[in-house]
């Protein structure tokens, strides 16, 4: 789902008000989707029993995989999708979403 929504042509994105131009709906969407992605990955990794490294270091592996996936998405946007371009700001928003997802996970499960 994340791959499909991030690869939509820019004409498919909803129009936003002038206030949102500063924050960019696209950047917010990236951060939100990656926040949900890493939260679910950490929960899944920590509850599985097949791969013990994933179980013992779920945050580390989820952050690594999510960050690589975010870079991969931006490279695909830049090279494969007409009307879209890869953007370092989106990579930063993806990473920020991952960090927020880690904080939410720790808030829900640890603290």
Query: Between 2 and 65, where is the model more confident?
Result: 65
pLDDT at 12 over 70: no
* Summary count for the chain: helices (H), strands (E): 6, 0
What pLDDT sits at residue 22?
Answer: 45
Q: What is the Cα Rg of the chain in Å? A: 15
CA 77 from chain centre, in angstroms, equals 14
How high does pLDDT run on average in the chain? 85
What pLDDT sits at residue 54?
Answer: 92
pLDDT digits (tens, 9 = 90+) for 23-71: 677 788 889 999 999 999 999 999 999 999 999 999 999 999 999 999 9
In the block, tokens 């939100």 appear at 32
Six token digits for residue 39? 């939260």
pLDDT at 4 over 70: yes
Confidence of residue 2 (pLDDT cuts 50, 70, 90): confident
């Amino acid at each position: 789902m994340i791959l499909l929504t991030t690869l939509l042509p820019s004409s498919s994105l909803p129009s936003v008000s002038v206030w949102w131009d500063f924050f960019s709906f696209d950047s917010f969407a990236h951060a939100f989707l990656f926040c949900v992605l890493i939260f679910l990955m950490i929960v899944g990794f920590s509850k599985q029993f097949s791969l013990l490294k994933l179980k013992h270091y779920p945050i580390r592996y989820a952050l690594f995989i999510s960050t690589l996936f975010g870079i991969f998405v931006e490279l695909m946007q830049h090279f494969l999708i007409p009307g879209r371009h890869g953007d370092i700001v989106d990579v930063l928003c993806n990473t920020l979403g991952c960090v927020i997802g880690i904080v939410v996970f720790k808030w829900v499960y640890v603290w």
